[in-house]
Structure 1
Amino acid sequence: MEKIIAEFDKSSNDIKFLEFNKKLTDSIERPQELKFILEHFSYVTVNGYLKILGNDSENGFSYCNELFSKCYNSNRCLIAYDILCGLFAINIEKLNAIEYFAPDTLEWEDLEIDYKDFLYWVTTNQLDTFYQELIVPDLFTLDLSLESNEVVLTYPFIWSMEYTPSGAVRKIVPFKELLEMNADFYRQLKM
């Protein structure tokens, strides 16, 4: 597990984390790397636009998964989200494969990696490549706090035909609000 911390330290990405001082109460055994993150960190943020969930008592893994399970299929476990409410989740039925709920398509995409690979992936420049279409400079002018579960609502919605990065209006909203809104649109559009 020290390799994970070493990769965080070596990365050219802006990785910040808050160490966690209490003992983990949940009984998470697998994947081992998830247990490690939950035992050692309240959260990890990457490049100011991605939050890896840790054991923060107010805005962490347990809280976000409680919200997530009310909105989406319970065969997934939320592990991270981005400032546009893109979601990274472990699909338990697919042998712990990481899937991404893309806010621009409202679709689940299999990333074909596991949690350990995900932690390494966020330390590479592949992360910026993955987000090059979604993360626009205007997003960083907002006074957003990933630590307290804030995300950016974009109107027209980022998944709509009317959306253009330069013509969009952006507003900071609680993660819960945009999570529930996207889940409603997801269900409506899939029917």
Structure 2
Amino acid sequence: MRELSELVEVDRPGWPVVAAHLADARVPVRVLPGDPERGRTCLHRLQVTARSFLGAMALESGGLLVDDGWLRVYGGGGPGLPGLGEVNDLSAAVVHGPPPHLVVGHDVLGGVFALNGPACEDDRYPGRPGEMVYFAPDSLRWEPLEAAYSSWLLWMLQEHNLENFYADLRWPGWREAVAGLAPNRGLSSVPFLWTEEAAADPAAVRRRPVPLAELTGLNREFAALVGEPDPGPFGTL
């Protein structure tokens, strides 16, 4: 493992670039304050430098609440939001090596954004090593995003990108429903999002707040129920 000083003391740190894009975001973004010691520990266990966007998020940010909290992006850990280290149990990475994929965000419907590891050879995760994938709650499978973490982070800050990505899953009044949720809670849907009934009329779906861990756990069970491959862990929430 590289020493922490090698990861922190870099030319051209990534955070000023990330912060500038966050300030210029075309969607509402709340940047949670991070704890310096927690961020340094997270960076050390990630074994990426502060020059990268991922390292900058871990070291300098507690996380992001994007589009009024629809999307939660993990950093080093902040108020009400766990950090990348806790979500991915990076303490185990010190002994066993990095996970095959790194969970970097969840959305309010239980969708999961993850980064394929450099040695990811698991058929459950499409895309190439170093690329982002998304577990979709309406298909119950991982989908390739064909983008690196930095490109994904910038993409979600642009106008209309999230709106288009979630066009079939949002409903009139979604913003008001999401804005009052704590970062560790999501919205359970009936009929379930992967059913034909929900796809036919998203506005008719009934929703209620539940712990996000419960929601992601249900989605993993649903995948097995409909015969999809086990998507693997969705992170500790």
- Report % sequence identity: 26
Letter in structure 1 aligned against 2:221: D
How many Å apart are 1:140 and its aligned residue?
2.8
Q: Answer yes or no: is 1:173 the counterpart of 2:210.
A: yes
Which residue number in structure 2 is paired with residue 55 of structure 1? Answer: 76
Letter in structure 2 aligned against 1:61: L
Q: Answer yes or no: is 1:190 the counterpart of 2:225.
A: no
Q: Distance in 2 between matches of 1:160 and 1:99?
A: 22
Question: Greater CA radius of gyration, 1 or 2?
Answer: 2
Q: Answer yes or no: is 1:25 the counterpart of 2:41.
A: yes
**Can you give the 5+ residue segments of structure 2 that lack an aligned partner in the other structure?**
1-13, 90-98, 121-127, 230-237
Q: Distance in 2 between matches of 1:168 and 1:127?
A: 20
Letter in structure 2 aligned against 1:79: V
Q: Answer yes or no: is 1:115 the counterpart of 2:149.
A: yes
Question: Per the alignment, in what secondary structure is the counterpart of residue 3 of structure 1?
Answer: helix
Letter in structure 2 aligned against 1:25: T
Question: Per the alignment, in what secondary structure is the counterpart of residue 72 of structure 2?
Answer: strand
Cα deviation 1:82-135 (Å, max 9, x = unaligned) = 111111000112321100111111121110001111111111122221122212
Question: Per the alignment, in what secondary structure is the counterpart of residue 127 of structure 1?
Answer: helix
Q: Mean Cα displacement is larger for which, 54-63 or 91-100? A: 54-63
| TM-score computed with the length of structure 1 as normaliser | 0.87
Letter in structure 1 aligned against 2:64: V
| TM-score computed with the length of structure 2 as normaliser | 0.71
Which residue number in structure 2 is paired with residue 140 of structure 1? Answer: 175
How many Å apart are 1:152 and its aligned residue?
0.5
Let me know the Cα RMSD of the aligned residues: 2.0
The 5 A counterparts of 1:7-86 are 7-23=21-37, 24-26=40-42, 27=44, 28-30=46-48, 32-48=52-68, 49-56=70-77, 59-66=82-89, 75-86=100-111
Cα deviation 1:51-108 (Å, max 9, x = unaligned) = 1012226623233324xxxxxxx52110011111111000112321100111111121
Q: Distance in 2 between matches of 1:119 and 1:141?
A: 24
Cα deviation 1:15-42 (Å, max 9, x = unaligned) = 1111213222132233722111011111
**Can you give the 5+ residue segments of structure 1 that lack an aligned partner in the other structure?**
67-73
